[in-house]
Amino acid sequence: DVKVTQSSRYLVKRTGEKVFLECVQDMDHENMFWYRQDPGLGLRLIYFSYDVKMKEKGDIPEGYSVSREKKERFSLILESASTNQTSMYLCAIQNYNEQFFGPGTRLTVL
Amino acid sequence: RKEVEQDPGPFNVPEGATVAFNCTYSNSASQSFFWYRQDCRKEPKLLMSVYSSGNEDGRFTAQLNRASQYISLLIRDSKLSDSATYLCVVNGAGNNRKLIWGLGTSLAVNP
């Protein structure tokens, strides 16, 4: 079974803090994704990566950056957290066209 | 027009009922179609892929209608444990790595 882990299930940060969300997969998949999910807006793609050191912007990259230094790890960075970044963050890997998700990180920015 | 549209529901059905969801997509070039299930405050999980010929997995049947650009999910003999949000997903045109997600249809199966 594919296993995708995320560093925290719940996180509370203050406005202006730098926030790191980590995602690790154990199956050597090339494609990894970061989404956020909000009520009424569904899943929105922030960034994705299809190889080490490669990244592409998704639909809502503003206020975020990513890092993929190793194949198994894809990090999402909030350079200066804001209250409108309070959300559920979901990491996914892709196997052919199917995506498999980590358990999610529920981030609250105060 | 949204790229992927679903009726948000909620659908409230008694145990044992048959319920069907439809989903329409706008890009005729889409090639891959999926249904995901998401429980409250959990991550989405793949329920089934949707193939051109239609496919069945136990009580679940998925159909694709390319001419009308919609996919459907039929659940027979509903169980309480089927209560969840069902997400329709379609691959984006020209880039199979990106998926386009519907907002989901909420199902509540009642005793």
How far apart, in Å, are the Cα atoms of A1 and each of A26, A75, A100?
Answer: 10, 22, 10
| DSSP label at residue A60 | -
- The mean of the pLDDT values for chain B is 92
Q: How many CA atoms lie within 13 A of A94 on its CB side?
A: 17
Nearest to B102 among A42, A98, A103 (CB): A42
Q: Tokens 């998925």 sit at which residue?
A: B62
Q: Per-residue confidence at B94, pLDDT binned at 50, 70, 90?
A: low
Min Cα–Cα distance to chain B from A15, Å: 24
CA A105 to CA A6: how far, in whole Å?
A: 7
Q: Per-residue confidence at B97, pLDDT binned at 50, 70, 90?
A: low
pLDDT: is B1 or B22 the higher one?
B22
Q: Per-residue confidence at B2, pLDDT binned at 50, 70, 90?
A: confident
How far apart, in Å, are the Cα atoms of A103 and each of A5, A7, B30, B45, B50?
Answer: 7, 10, 28, 10, 24
| Omega within 30 of 0 (cis) for the link into B10 | yes
Question: Lowest-confidence range among A85-89, B40-44, B90-94, B98-102?
Answer: B90-94
Q: Per-residue confidence at B98, pLDDT binned at 50, 70, 90?
A: confident
pLDDT at residue B29, rounded to an integer: 87
Task: Round the CA-based radius of gyration of chain A to a whole number and report it.
Answer: 13
- The mean of the pLDDT values for chain A is 94
Task: Give every residue of chain A whose pLDDT is below 50, as ranges.
Answer: none
Q: Are B85 and B73 in contact (CB under 8 A)?
A: no
A 29-88 residues inside an 8 A Cβ radius of B:
31, 40-43, 45, 48, 50, 58
**Angle (CA) A50 A86 A64, round 5°:** 35
SS3 of residue B49 by DSSP: strand
pLDDT at residue A76, rounded to an integer: 98
CA A43 to chain centroid, in Å, comes to: 12
pLDDT at residue B96, rounded to an integer: 54
pLDDT digits (tens, 9 = 90+) for B33-82: 999 999 999 999 999 999 888 899 999 999 999 999 999 999 999 999 99
Residues of chain A with Cβ-Cβ distance to B86 below 8 Å are none
Determine the residue of chain B that is closest to A38 in CA distance.
Answer: B103
Q: In this structure, which amino acid lies at residue A74?
A: F
Return the closest-CA partner of residue A46 out of A71, A21, A26, A10.
A21
Residues in CB range of B47: below 8 A, 6 or more apart = B34, B35, B36, B37, B60, B73, B86
Contact A101 B101 (CB under 8 A): no
